[in-house]
Each structure stands twice: as structure tokens, then as C-alpha cells.
Amino acid sequence: MKEKFNKFYKKTLEERRQILKELNMLNEKISLDEEIGDTMIENYVLNMEIPLGLAMNFSINGKEYIIPMAIEEPSVVAAASNGAKTLGNIETSMDRKYLIGQVVLENVEDPDAAIKILEENKNSLMDLAEEHSQSMIKRGGGPKEITFKKFDQGFVCIYISVDTCDSMGANTINTILEALAPLAEDLTNSSALLRILSNHAIESVVVAETKTPVQNLDKDIEKARQVARRIEAATKYANIDPYRAVTHNKGVMNGVDAVVLATGNDFRAVEAGVHAYTVRDGQYRSLTSWTFDEENDLLLGRIEIPMAVATLGGTISINPIAKWSLQVLSNPDAKELAKIIASVGLVQNFSALRALVTDGIQKGHMSLHAKTLAKQIGVKEEEMDEFMRSLLKADKVNLSLAKGILAKMREED
């Protein structure tokens, strides 16, 4: 199967679809039916379409993946495939995937006394939470922990952590919170202002790591070491200057959002959670770290990122493209999907940094654009090298220039 995808990007669209057909991966065109769209949102009129491509070369925890990515930005899929090829296997871990919900009590006269009484009644609150999440408990999840915290101005918050298994779990958790609120109000003689899940997903954190021999970065070992050093310095800088950190993390999110979107997950929730996590020590920092281990000639990469995604429920199960994307990933469970997404984020960041600390981002973008034009105007394999050389010499790359260069080349032949 791997060979079938070799140089996938050099094939025509028809050839790519034919390969997927032969592998029984895409037998017919799939799209979101209007009837389904009309049940998903209000005042529905049409679908907003975003290209979906496949990134290659990913190996995560020793398993090979083809990664569906929904994104409108050129070069992201190529950069992901390129980075994955260079970095090799990525090891990941995720302790748990719990969603946190909160009941916010207001007008609490004596917050310390309220917390004491809530603590004394923790078992009753937990029993109530379990009573209202029986189906999640049957699936192996359910409520795990309840904690309390007081805030200024008479606010007290009840936090509950729930294992929502493979679903996002919004309905489960909100049902639990609405059940807990009346008891909490009675106990504390206050009123519940808010009963809602939190997207601060600090109990759904994935760590993904790579250890790449530096010689993978360049044939010339001294140049390769220089690239590794500069990638390390770029991360250090992102940790001290939020202007850079935001762009650095935007590069990570190019990969993350593309897979989150392709698999029908809530990208707003992921984005909000990720950016809150990066600022947890008071300064907005890089999501990734890159270190050059000079002794062993290794580039060490690491990402730590909250990823409360789902593979079941919500609109995932009714969106045919999301279902297809999950099939391409061999139907992972939610934790496996979270690990895949974190890995794509790490790889994406690597590719952007490597380009930035070497030739600059424009060179790769220009060469991709030139290759697309070459394909579009029918440049033959044997003409390609000369055509690319001439086109990339120009200040800007566009269709009429490409056509002119090809015509001149053929005239001279």
C-alpha cells in the first residue's frame, strides 16, 4: 500500500482518486448533503467548501498514517509530508482525556463555609453526577473528580472532571452540571449563575516527541548541525517574545486545525484551549520545543498540547467527510486521534522553522507554485528541470510567465 502513495503529489487528481479507488478508500465522490446541512445549523443555505488533501510519511508510535487535512492555505500539506519524512517516528503519550465542567455559584455570603459544606457533601454530589451519566459509565467513562474553589466577589466554583470516552461529551457534562446545581444551591444558600463545560482542556494534554538524527536535515553534516542549532534558537526566541510565539504557534495550528476540521471536530474549542494553555505560566509561549543534542547529533522535538477531540457523536457521525477522514486514519479512538493531531502540529512547526532558518519561507512557496503551474500547462518530465530553473529565476512566478518560458523552450528545441 505504501508504494501506491509514492510521489502521490506528482500524480494528477484523476490518478490520485484512482489510487484511492483501487485501495477501496474512495469509491464515489462524497459531500455533505443539503438535507444534513439543514439539520446541522439554522437558516442553512449552502456548504462552505475547503480543500481536503492527504499528508504522507507519518509514523506515530511505530504506526504509519495517511493524514487527511482540510485547509485552504497552500504549502501546508506539502510541508507536513516533507517534515514527517525528515523527522521519522513520533512517540506520543496522553494520560487521560477528561472534560471539565463548572457550576459557578454567585452571591455566596461566606465562601469558606460554602466550600466546607460542599466538601462534606462531595459523595452526594458525585452520586448525583453518576446517576446522570449512566450511559457514559457503561462505556467505561463517567465522572472522576469534584473540586471547589472560591473567587472574589462572592463566587464559588464547583469543577467536575468527566471521562467522556470517544465523544466530546458536551451534552453529558452539561446534563450533569444542571443536575448538580440545585443541590449546590441548597447547600450553600446561593444561586447557580453558570452551568457549563470548560474548554480549558488541561486534563486532555498530549505530549508528542521526536528524536531525529541531525544528518536527516542536510547531506552536509556541518550544515545540518547549523540548521539544528538555528531551530533550537528559534524556539528559545519564541519563548521570550510573544510577537514571535503567536506566529510560531500559528504554524503549529496550521497542522492541528486542518486535521481537527477534516475529522469534524470543534476547532473553536481546540483553538481556545490551546492558546489558554500556552499562557498558563503568565506569558504566551511556544507550544513546541526543539533542542540540538550536540553530543548525540540529534534534534529533539517536543509538543505539549491540550487536545479534547472526539471520534463519535456530535456532528462527526452525520458528516460523511468527517467519517471518511476517520476511516483514512483507520478509525482511531479519541485518544489516538488526539495523539495524531499533536504529532501533525509538531511536524508542521518543524517544517516552517526549517524553512525560516534556512532559505526563508518564500523559496519553498515559490517552488511549489512553480510546480503547480508546470502541471497546469503540461510541462513534460524531461522539460521540468530547465523550466523550473528559468521560472524560479524570475522575480515573480505567474501563469503568463510560465507559458512564455515553456513556449520559448520548445521554440529553441
Q: Are 345 and 287 in contact (CB under 8 A)?
A: yes
Residue 73 a catalytic site member? yes
State the minimum distance, in angstroms, from the CB of residue 87 to ligand HMG.
12
Per the listing, cell 506515530 goes with: 60
Q: Are 240 and 296 in contact (CB under 8 A)?
A: no
State the minimum distance, in angstroms, from the CB of residue 74 to ligand HMG.
8
List of residues 6+ apart from 342 with CB closer than 8 A? 92, 206, 207, 208, 256, 303, 305, 307
User: Which residue's CB comes closest to ligand HMG?
Assistant: 364
Residue 250 a catalytic site member? yes
CB nearer to ligand HMG: give 56 or 170. Answer: 56
Residue 365 a catalytic site member? yes
At 240, give phi and psi (nearest 5°).
-110, -15
From the list 266, 336, 339, 369, the catalytic residue is 266
CA distance 395 to 91: 42
State the minimum distance, in angstroms, from the CB of residue 257 to ligand HMG.
11
From the list 11, 122, 365, 375, the catalytic residue is 365
CA distance 63 to 89: 8
From the list 21, 63, 116, 250, the catalytic residue is 250
Binding site for ligand HMG (CB under 6 A): 7, 9, 56-57, 73, 75-79, 81-82, 85, 247-248, 250-251, 254, 351-353, 355-356, 361, 364, 367-368, 371
State the minimum distance, in angstroms, from the CB of residue 307 to ligand HMG.
20
CB nearer to ligand HMG: give 335 or 371. Answer: 371
CA distance 363 to 331: 37
CB nearer to ligand HMG: give 367 or 390. Answer: 367
State the minimum distance, in angstroms, from the CB of residue 120 to ligand HMG.
51
CB nearer to ligand HMG: give 177 or 353. Answer: 353
Residue 7 a catalytic site member? no
Three cell numbers, residue 402:
510560465
CB nearer to ligand HMG: give 70 or 170. Answer: 70
Q: Are 182 and 201 in contact (CB under 8 A)?
A: no
What strands lie across the sheet with 142-151, from one edge to the other?
Answer: 142-151, 155-163, 98-106, 191-198
Residues involved in catalysis: 73, 250, 266, 365
